[in-house]
Amino acid sequence: MSLSLLTTCFPGLPDVDGSRVLGAAWVGAGAPQEPPVWPQQRLLTPVLGPAEVVQECWWVQGSAPLSCGEAEGIAWRRSGDLLFGVIDIDEAAVRTEPPCTPLQQAAHDAYARIFHLLDAQGLPHLWRLWNYMADINGESHGLERYRQFNMGRGDAFEAGARSVVGRVPAACALGLAGGPLTVAFLAGAAPIVPVENPRQVSAFLYPNRYGPRSPTFSRAALAHPPGQEILFVSGTASIVGHETVHPGDVRAQTVESLDNIAAVLGVASSSSRSGPFALADLGYRAYIRHAADLPAVREVVAQRVGDAPVAYVRADVCRADLLVEIEGQALRKLPVWQ
Ligand code: 3EB
């Protein structure tokens, strides 16, 4: 059994047997299609290229039956030791009391329920998380909303007796124009190999000028389904040390983000079971704050990654001075003797 990722930039997944799909992401600004039978994270935001819709579909080969369920608002599907799930939480429906904010509570609830499901499923290890929320740079209750999210997420990791440093999953966290807090995840029985970036302070060690609680994610993670190696590179931005560099200069921010990814690939390569990773080996999603910046970002990215597939998506990055964030992944078969 192995895990595959099919990214199409057109509606429809012609070559995938729906009974083998663990879950998917759908990105687009228009009315989405009817939700499929598998868990799907829907992001209502413009895709800037190469088409108007992105579908990213995780599916498994083999004949083992899939199990699926709905638990505390999480839609999930599992095959062997791999599980994909999605949870959406509407902040307006969350009950909380000050000083906890609705977004902080929503983040806490989403993660607490994910941990509860994974405990029940006997799959302790989160590999990759995709987090999206409305108005990520907005301020309420005296705190930027992304920082509220970090408080709820970090509290849930601690309440679930999970480490908030060291071996934490790969992730991204972006803002959209509206919609619920939506969190998608891939989990497995085997732990990830976390990867940090020597050019950056680990996000889980950011100083508290970026918020009362540091974000809980690794710069990248190597995960090992049977016979495979998957590299997840987290959302990567123009941050050196812990500071934003090149504010206001989208081209320079894109170069810096790619330099950061290249540094992460260097470290990942030294822990890899499948051989070194180069920029051209991955598939990417690039999040762009201002749609008008697409040509500049695309030119820099294409120059560095060559023919590697890149989907460009309109989204807000989690610091107001960041204009672009890039994430990627690579899936490889391991030689049979590994
Ligand atoms: C950064 O390096 C940019 O909070 O889960 C990137 C990836 C970022 C994941 C998260 C945030 C997250 O701090 C922001």
Q: Which residue type occupies 132?
A: Y
Angle at 161 between CA 198 and CA 132, to 5 degrees: 60
Minimal CA–CA distance to 313: which of 331, 329, 327?
A: 327
Spacing, Cα 336 to ligand 1 middle (Å):
35
Q: Does 233 contact ligand 1 (Cβ within 6 A)?
A: no
Q: Does 318 contact ligand 1 (Cβ within 6 A)?
A: yes
* Catalytic residue IDs: 325
Query: What pLDDT was estimated at residue 7?
Result: 66
Spacing, Cα 62 to ligand 1 middle (Å):
34
Spacing, Cα 130 to ligand 1 middle (Å):
10
The model carries a pTM of 0.96
Local confidence pLDDT in tens for the 338 residues of the chain: 677 776 665 555 556 788 889 999 999 998 777 888 999 999 999 999 998 999 999 988 877 789 999 999 999 999 999 999 999 999 999 999 999 999 999 999 999 999 999 999 999 999 999 999 999 999 999 999 999 999 999 999 999 878 888 899 999 999 999 999 999 999 999 999 999 999 999 999 999 999 999 999 999 999 999 889 999 999 999 999 999 999 999 999 999 999 999 999 999 999 999 999 999 999 999 999 999 999 999 999 999 999 999 999 999 999 999 999 999 999 999 987 65
Q: Which of 197, 216, 217, 285 to mutate to test the pocket of ligand 1 (most atoms within 8 A of CB)?
A: 217
Spacing, Cα 240 to ligand 1 middle (Å):
13
Q: Which residue type occupies 282?
A: L
Which residue in this structure is represented by tokens 């907005």? Answer: 138
Query: What pLDDT was estimated at residue 9?
Result: 55
Q: Which of 137, 147, 234, 260 to mutate to test the pocket of ligand 1 (most atoms within 8 A of CB)?
A: 234
Q: Does 217 contact ligand 1 (Cβ within 6 A)?
A: yes
